[in-house]
Amino acid sequence: MTSTNPISNGTEVEEQTPPTSSDIPPEVSDAEDSAEVAEHPDGIFQAVGVIIGEVNLDTEGKSTITFGRSTYQLFYIPKKRRVFEALKKEIEATGEHTQRLLVYPKVIHFPRKEQPHQIAFQLVGFDKGREEEAISSQLEDFEFKFCGLWQFIPVCPTPCISVFRNFTHQRLEFIKQAEPAKKVKFMKASHIPLFWRDSPVRPFRFNPKAEGDQGHPAFVQVKAKFLPQRNVFGFFELLAEPQENAPKFLKASKKDKATLLEAKKKEMRGAAPASTGTPAPAPKPKQPIPLPKKVVPEKS
């Protein structure tokens, strides 16, 4: 196991808006790269699925997909620009906005537990006849495949499957050379809330006040259905027995997170009005305005 405490600081929170672009180099951004699978013959971290709905594309990053009464943001990373353009041409040529898409789910958590998470989808491909993408032929509409660590995170009352960036030597070289901000962003995990009654292993819950070894979350591989009415996913099939040891993955260090946090603080301080260090002189007290003398008319 690479880490016994993936969520130890209690502050791992997704960005409040999904990215419309990526700082990740194209050669290391694809989660299903063949080299990655070769380095993890026993399984990989993964979150991918199929959705179908009315697609409305916007080149300014405001694309959406609607099914039922729910509308979700649909975005893509630069490497998938050609997929976005192909989907746009398909809709323009056929006039058919209802499309079957292969997507990565992106869950946005917030610091307060009472503030509900949000879900968006990252476009990976679209499927006219279930032939273009191998994974889409294995999934029915609104089915997802999740492989990750089964645990609670501090900002979500529902247990999650935490999907980390799979380890490859190519990615390791990129991380060694990347600046802290890009490094932390690249290794950010995705935490997928999942309703899973009677799971064979209990979701791990880290207690920051407890001492000693608390164990670690199990690595699970499941199929789940997206439940738009509740904005979560629901378990329906176990793909493999839970594993005590997870495949190797990449996780940002506390040092890198601290460096990034300090840089953000400095940036915020720099945005505040600069102080000269000399206190401003106290304003002079206002002098009372003299009243005109009362004139008494002389007696005649």
| Tens of pLDDT, residues 207-230 | 988 888 899 999 999 999 999 989
Residue 165 placed within a domain = yes
Between the two ends of the chain, the Cα-to-Cα distance in Å is: 113
Residue 228 lies in a domain: yes
pLDDT tens column, 148-167: 999 999 999 999 999 999 99
Task: Please check whether residue 96 lies inside any domain of the structure.
Answer: yes
- Please check whether residue 71 lies inside any domain of the structure: yes
pLDDT at 263: 76
Question: What tokens appear for 267 in the block?
Answer: 């940036």
Residue 164 sits in which domain range?
40-263
Q: In whole angstroms, what is the distance from residue 216 CA to residue 276 CA?
A: 51
Give strand pairing partners of 54: 66, 98
Q: For residue range 247-297, list pLDDT tens digits in order.
A: 999 988 777 777 777 777 877 787 655 444 555 555 555 555 454 444 444
* Least confidently predicted of 24-28, 63-67, 88-92, 192-196: 24-28
Inside any domain, residue 296 = no
Which amino acid belongs to residue 143?
E
Q: Which of 20, 93, 87, 16 is nearest to 56 (CA)?
A: 87
Q: Please give the average per-residue pLDDT across 48-66, as a whole number.
A: 92
Task: State residue 151's pLDDT score.
Answer: 98
Q: How many domains does the chain have?
A: 1
Is 289 a member of any domain?
no
Residue 5 confidence class, pLDDT cut points 50, 70, 90: very low
Q: Which residue reads 């979560």 in tokens? A: 232
What does the pLDDT read at residue 43?
A: 84
Question: Other C-beta atoms within 10 Å of 256: how many?
Answer: 18
190 contacts 108 by C-beta, under 8 angstroms: no
Q: How much is the CA Rg of the chain, to the nearest whole Å?
A: 27
Q: Report phi then psi at 266, rounded to 5.
A: -65, -40
Give a yes or no: residue 113 inside a domain.
yes
Is residue 184, in this structure, part of any structural domain at all?
A: yes
Q: How many residues does the chain have?
A: 300
User: Do the beta carbons of residue 237 and residue 196 sit within 8 Å?
Assistant: no
